[in-house]
A and B are shown apart, each in its own frame.
Chain A
């Protein structure tokens, strides 16, 4: 069939295979075995073309063909990245005739004009123009760093974070993006160009990445740079109504929200005006659930919010069911998430087989403000009152039974997440202004809030994997990254625009920031440690002690330079406390030691000197919080947060697309062992779990476990070790294969005993998945049946053969696709070609590519290793 292509201007031209081949070929330069890659991509592109296809679709088809081969060889990732970059360059920079040098120059020289145009068009902040030496910054741009990206990271960045033009296409190249964010945070520096350059150097090398909202808003005319908001809903109609409005405004500014409903009076509680019974928190929560659903960006990204309730609330049993997929829709939250906020008093009662009482907060209004021993005392008094008949209503249930109900709901609906009020409040250094009533949407933030304050946190994450080279952690470089990141976050606060006065107030008074990490599991793999080994736990301890020390030191430096945060007086910091010191306070109130190693593992840090420095002033009320960073982890091409790797290969269902995620560390190790080709299909057939693949040596299988094959106690241990040093919390996903509720209760109990403050989503391993498509599947074989095989192959194979039916790898009848030609031509197996004419002209014209290249020269090696691990994340919160 004659194929024509529809060009951008609507005219048609005949399809030119040679042109496509050349462009694919350029993208394969410098990789191993480029000819077979070109052939493969060209062939598969051709398979999908149709008459009248547009030029853009054609670009897309080529990229897709490269992407679908990444599972065969990670080198295809590089090709896909280059093909995608080319489309961006052409759009933003214009034609460069495939000349790399021309591109590099144009990319640099056009930057000042790009900024100017952006300002004129109202996309960029006017301060982007007058404040900086644009020529110097253009000179700092390093387009070669675009090669650091993995395909999923680049695609995510372009979709999610890049400024868009009128056609909703990315208006900036990746390096312009990093420079835009860097500049957008350096406006108020004394030497803005110097600091913009420093921030750029860090982010463009993926050494740290800003939180999602910052990436979207920095340097633009709408600098809403915060990700996280925490609000308490008060028990009066006016405040509930205001809260609905606040939720809408915050969602519009792309923030993720934590909202506590504990104060709302219970169902049946009399209204003061006319004594009619209240309908309880559920209908009000439903309004908010509907509100965030209404706020959509481009129809895709909904508002995101998590409701928090303390489990002594009379309506808590109803709250447990909020996420159930069946039942009255008016009683269910389809969009919002839920989390339970539990006290040590409750956990103790679970452990000791005690009874748990639930009250109407209208009758027990002070409980919400109390924690530790003070809570226990008051709670006991209310119990006595209740038993004496002095309370209007109460309920009681064995504490263990309620704990079990929570975990059954968690297992079946992934909600409510378990978070603990007492470790959050007793270990806080920042709650001199009031109680912390909740965590945030992603369970890593611990900030107080009240009627006048909607807590705000500003986030960025260090990419630990970018600080490991040749099996060594570059501590000096890491220190520099931590210091710059803290400074950048502090700068952000004065530029940040917030839509609500209460949020503005809290932001300026506390200057709270949350520096997190990503790539922890990635680093363990590179260093050859198993996630569930004591070495990994000690490493976590060492790493977080270092990050904590430097971050605190830098905030104290900034306080000396710029002044302490307004609420500093009376804080834990002002008493010379650092996070590790607060463990004693928690243990004293709990009356029980935490079951976690409490020693130091990083040698040579001067904590006592730091305590004295901190006492003089801190620039920020909080410093560290490990956000889930699934999206920026994807951008940086590493595992998110401290989570283990979900699987060696898995797919990620994201707004920006569906990505296959293959562990590049493992692929490289298996390639070095020379067994990659032998086991790659098996890894997919096993859904990314290599435990049972005997061809892979045991020491490799020990290191590369999946989230489900790693002991859940190991996740908890890593979180507990990190939590020692972190002043806020860690967003900690849980992954379980067991569905035994007793076992699940033990796991969560142990998290509490180790002092973990919060947990996040619980992922259950599915017991049944859809039939696989691209790997060998034979259900009959699996059930030991052979059906008609006996009569089909009667004579030939009866004798010796095994029971398994023969696999048909061979090309069957003549109807099928003609293959072969290219296979012998390129020396690669498995290449199908439908039309001989299409066969690799590119390869012929550049025979030099057939020379094998030494591995050391391969461009793909420059990068910090790959792979993100995904997950759920508060999209806004990273």
Chain B
């Protein structure tokens, strides 16, 4: 079982019961990167030339991302990790938590590098109602997990666990973050903020894995606990996602009070709906919005392999894996 009270056997990694979690852990380790590998300073030339609306959008996004990464961490540490008994999942989550910390520091690095009013940036997420509403939404689910203690042996406890997971992993990481990435990458598309774009590529690569893990976790828990698999609960989950999307409407208005070349609030809303549909389909709930992807250019940003001119940009597709194996030789050794 994935959730429940840990027993002594759960302290052994072998035999591996949830291979997918172990595989994801290994891939996550290979994806390790550090913010200082990106020469962010070079983007300052672009920053100088950007319009006020463009700068506002970047500031706004970073102000959201920076605390959001820590909120995710809290949610994992207090609301997800303690209720799981699978050691494979614990391995993965330990790495994910480091990644969230790393992302937070990466955004910190952005705030240090760009001439952004840091005090203003740090207070934005509490001062702007639309941003605050998003945080409140997440905290609502998280509190249930952290301030109360769940009994995950009961159906209601299991449902609470799933609710939190959906709010943090599916809505926050899987929808909100994705629309934010699209906006930042659109600058890259217009040949601005190339290095910030590289940094976001890395964050996005990590987040894609987080989402894969979360989706696996939800699917497997549903399979192991058929009693919570009801039409009513499905509708409730759907509502959690839809609520999350609704919160984006006001947020996107504040992100783009007017608009910039290639983007405006409606456009981002449509993208959010498109991504939310995908998440709903993955949950087996089915699309709600029927929205089309307005950002066709994202195919070049994320969908295909990137060939990097090493002289021009940091190659963000490398992986660390010094443990390169030599099968032939290994067999000889044994």
Interface residues of A (CB under 8 A from B): 44, 47-53, 57, 60-61, 64, 67-69, 71, 159, 256, 293, 296, 298-302, 304, 325-326, 329, 334, 337, 408, 411-414, 630-631, 646-647, 649-661, 684-685, 687-688, 739-742, 744, 761, 763-775, 777-781, 783, 785-794, 805-808, 810-813, 815-817, 832, 869-875
Contact of A742 among B42, B291, B320, B328 (CB under 8 A): B328
Closest A residue to B312 by beta carbon equals A655
Contact of B215 among A657, A779, A815 (CB under 8 A): A779
Question: What is the CA–CA distance of A715 and B120 in the complex, to the nearest angstrom?
Answer: 55
5 A-B residue pairs with Cβ-Cβ distance under 8 Å, sorted by A, are A48-B262, A655-B312, A773-B302, A791-B229, A870-B307
Question: What is the CA–CA distance of A284 and B324 in the complex, to the nearest angstrom?
Answer: 31
Asked whether, in the complex, the Cβ of A792 is within 8 Å of the Cβ of B284, the reply is yes
Question: What is the CA–CA distance of A764 and B307 in the complex, to the nearest angstrom?
Answer: 11
Contact of A808 among B188, B191, B209, B281 (CB under 8 A): B281
Question: What is the CA–CA distance of A5 and B2 in the complex, to the nearest angstrom?
Answer: 57
Asked whether, in the complex, the Cβ of B289 is within 8 Å of the Cβ of A51, the reply is no
Asked whether, in the complex, the Cβ of B310 is within 8 Å of the Cβ of A408, the reply is no
Report B194 CB to chain A, min CB distance, Å.
8
Whether A741 contacts B326 in the complex (CB less than 8 A), given A780-B283, A808-B281, comes out as yes
Question: What is the CA–CA distance of A52 and B259 in the complex, to the nearest angstrom?
Answer: 9
Question: What is the CA–CA distance of A741 and B326 in the complex, to the nearest angstrom?
Answer: 5
Question: What is the CA–CA distance of A780 and B223 in the complex, to the nearest angstrom?
Answer: 12
Asked whether, in the complex, the Cβ of B326 is within 8 Å of the Cβ of A740, the reply is yes
CB-defined contacts of B233 to chain A, threshold 8 Å: 788
Whether A872 contacts B281 in the complex (CB less than 8 A), given A47-B267, A768-B209, A812-B289, comes out as no
- CB 8 Å contact bits of B293-318 with A (1 = contact, 0 = none): 11111111111111111111101011
Question: What is the CA–CA distance of A326 and B102 in the complex, to the nearest angstrom?
Answer: 14
Most buried by A among B281, B294, B301: B281
Whether A412 contacts B45 in the complex (CB less than 8 A), given A67-B297, A792-B234, A871-B307, comes out as no
Asked whether, in the complex, the Cβ of A812 is within 8 Å of the Cβ of B287, the reply is yes
Report A229 CB to chain B, min CB distance, Å.
15
CB-defined contacts of B73 to chain A, threshold 8 Å: none
Asked whether, in the complex, the Cβ of B291 is within 8 Å of the Cβ of A816, the reply is yes
Report B163 CB to chain A, min CB distance, Å.
13
Consensus secondary structure, chain A interface: loop
Question: What is the CA–CA distance of A302 and B317 in the complex, to the nearest angstrom?
Answer: 21
Interface residue ranges of B265-302 to A (CB < 8 Å):
266-267, 270, 273, 277-278, 281-302
The 4 nearest A-B residue pairs measured at CB: A50-B259, A812-B290, A787-B284, A299-B45
Asked whether, in the complex, the Cβ of A658 is within 8 Å of the Cβ of B301, the reply is yes
Report A166 CB to chain B, min CB distance, Å.
14
Asked whether, in the complex, the Cβ of B297 is within 8 Å of the Cβ of A53, the reply is no
Contact of A813 among B44, B212, B284, B290 (CB under 8 A): B290
Whether A646 contacts B191 in the complex (CB less than 8 A), given A791-B229, A817-B270, comes out as no
CB-defined contacts of A650 to chain B, threshold 8 Å: 304-307
Report A643 CB to chain B, min CB distance, Å.
10
Report A49 CB to chain B, min CB distance, Å.
7
Asked whether, in the complex, the Cβ of B260 is within 8 Å of the Cβ of A50, the reply is yes
Question: What is the CA–CA distance of A411 and B288 in the complex, to the nearest angstrom?
Answer: 44
Asked whether, in the complex, the Cβ of A651 is within 8 Å of the Cβ of B307, the reply is yes
Report B301 CB to chain A, min CB distance, Å.
7
Asked whether, in the complex, the Cβ of A786 is within 8 Å of the Cβ of B293, the reply is no
Asked whether, in the complex, the Cβ of A805 is within 8 Å of the Cβ of B281, the reply is yes
Question: What is the CA–CA distance of A808 and B299 in the complex, to the nearest angstrom?
Answer: 20
CB-defined contacts of B263 to chain A, threshold 8 Å: 48
Asked whether, in the complex, the Cβ of A773 is within 8 Å of the Cβ of B298, the reply is yes
Report B184 CB to chain A, min CB distance, Å.
13
Question: What is the CA–CA distance of A790 and B282 in the complex, to the nearest angstrom?
Answer: 13
Asked whether, in the complex, the Cβ of B326 is within 8 Å of the Cβ of A742, the reply is yes
Asked whether, in the complex, the Cβ of B294 is within 8 Å of the Cβ of A71, the reply is no
CB-defined contacts of B209 to chain A, threshold 8 Å: 768
Asked whether, in the complex, the Cβ of A808 is within 8 Å of the Cβ of B277, the reply is yes
Asked whether, in the complex, the Cβ of A768 is within 8 Å of the Cβ of B205, the reply is yes
Question: What is the CA–CA distance of A740 and B323 in the complex, to the nearest angstrom?
Answer: 10
- CB 8 Å contact bits of B187-221 with A (1 = contact, 0 = none): 01111001001000100110111011001101110
Asked whether, in the complex, the Cβ of A770 is within 8 Å of the Cβ of B311, the reply is no
Most buried by A among B278, B282, B303: B303
CB-defined contacts of A657 to chain B, threshold 8 Å: 189-191
Asked whether, in the complex, the Cβ of B264 is within 8 Å of the Cβ of A50, the reply is yes
Whether A61 contacts B262 in the complex (CB less than 8 A), given A646-B305, A740-B325, comes out as yes
Contact of B45 among A298, A334, A414, A817 (CB under 8 A): A298
Asked whether, in the complex, the Cβ of A772 is within 8 Å of the Cβ of B237, the reply is no
- CB 8 Å contact bits of B237-279 with A (1 = contact, 0 = none): 1000000000000000000101111111011001001000110
Q: Does B39 interact with chain A (Cβ within 8 Å)? A: yes
CB-defined contacts of B267 to chain A, threshold 8 Å: 47-48
CB-defined contacts of A790 to chain B, threshold 8 Å: 229, 284
Contact of B309 among A48, A768, A872 (CB under 8 A): A872
Contact of A770 among B42, B208, B284 (CB under 8 A): B208
CB-defined contacts of A810 to chain B, threshold 8 Å: 290
Contacts A50-B260, A301-B311, A779-B212 known; 14 new A-B pairs at CB < 8 A: A47-B266, A50-B256, A61-B261, A302-B311, A655-B313, A658-B197, A658-B301, A688-B304, A774-B298, A783-B215, A787-B282, A787-B283, A794-B231, A812-B288
Asked whether, in the complex, the Cβ of B311 is within 8 Å of the Cβ of A304, the reply is yes
Asked whether, in the complex, the Cβ of B303 is within 8 Å of the Cβ of A766, the reply is no
Asked whether, in the complex, the Cβ of A51 is within 8 Å of the Cβ of B299, the reply is no
Question: What is the CA–CA distance of A808 and B230 in the complex, to the nearest angstrom?
Answer: 22
Which stretch, B3-11, B28-36, B59-67, B138-146, touches the partner chain A?
B28-36
Asked whether, in the complex, the Cβ of B294 is within 8 Å of the Cβ of A775, the reply is no
Q: Does B14 interact with chain A (Cβ within 8 Å)? A: no
Asked whether, in the complex, the Cβ of A872 is within 8 Å of the Cβ of B320, the reply is no
Contact of B322 among A61, A69, A412, A685 (CB under 8 A): A412
Question: What is the CA–CA distance of A658 and B320 in the complex, to the nearest angstrom?
Answer: 25
Whether A651 contacts B229 in the complex (CB less than 8 A), given A48-B267, A68-B297, comes out as no
Question: What is the CA–CA distance of A816 and B269 in the complex, to the nearest angstrom?
Answer: 11
Asked whether, in the complex, the Cβ of A808 is within 8 Å of the Cβ of B258, the reply is no
Asked whether, in the complex, the Cβ of A326 is within 8 Å of the Cβ of B223, the reply is no
Contact of A788 among B33, B283, B292, B294 (CB under 8 A): B283
Whether A651 contacts B306 in the complex (CB less than 8 A), given A779-B212, A787-B283, comes out as yes
Asked whether, in the complex, the Cβ of B191 is within 8 Å of the Cβ of A775, the reply is no
Whether A412 contacts B318 in the complex (CB less than 8 A), given A774-B296, A788-B229, comes out as yes
Asked whether, in the complex, the Cβ of B309 is within 8 Å of the Cβ of A687, the reply is no
Asked whether, in the complex, the Cβ of A647 is within 8 Å of the Cβ of B305, the reply is yes
Asked whether, in the complex, the Cβ of B296 is within 8 Å of the Cβ of A68, the reply is yes
Report B18 CB to chain A, min CB distance, Å.
12
Whether A771 contacts B208 in the complex (CB less than 8 A), given A412-B318, A778-B281, A780-B283, comes out as yes
CB-defined contacts of A764 to chain B, threshold 8 Å: 318-319
Report B181 CB to chain A, min CB distance, Å.
8
Asked whether, in the complex, the Cβ of A742 is within 8 Å of the Cβ of B318, the reply is no
- CB 8 Å contact bits of B32-51 with A (1 = contact, 0 = none): 01101101001011100000
CB-defined contacts of B324 to chain A, threshold 8 Å: 408, 411-412, 739-741, 744
Contact of B305 among A47, A769, A815 (CB under 8 A): A769
Report A336 CB to chain B, min CB distance, Å.
10
CB-defined contacts of A869 to chain B, threshold 8 Å: 307
Whether A630 contacts B309 in the complex (CB less than 8 A), given A412-B322, A812-B287, comes out as yes
Closest A residue to B182 by beta carbon equals A773
Report B35 CB to chain A, min CB distance, Å.
11
Asked whether, in the complex, the Cβ of B308 is within 8 Å of the Cβ of A787, the reply is no
Whether A660 contacts B261 in the complex (CB less than 8 A), given A325-B37, A325-B320, comes out as no
Question: What is the CA–CA distance of A791 and B201 in the complex, to the nearest angstrom?
Answer: 37
Question: What is the CA–CA distance of A306 and B208 in the complex, to the nearest angstrom?
Answer: 35
Closest A residue to B30 by beta carbon equals A767
Asked whether, in the complex, the Cβ of A875 is within 8 Å of the Cβ of B311, the reply is yes
CB-defined contacts of B112 to chain A, threshold 8 Å: none
Asked whether, in the complex, the Cβ of B296 is within 8 Å of the Cβ of A792, the reply is no
Closest A residue to B41 by beta carbon equals A299
Asked whether, in the complex, the Cβ of B234 is within 8 Å of the Cβ of A872, the reply is no
Question: What is the CA–CA distance of A296 and B322 in the complex, to the nearest angstrom?
Answer: 33
Whether A775 contacts B290 in the complex (CB less than 8 A), given A299-B45, A413-B318, A655-B312, comes out as no
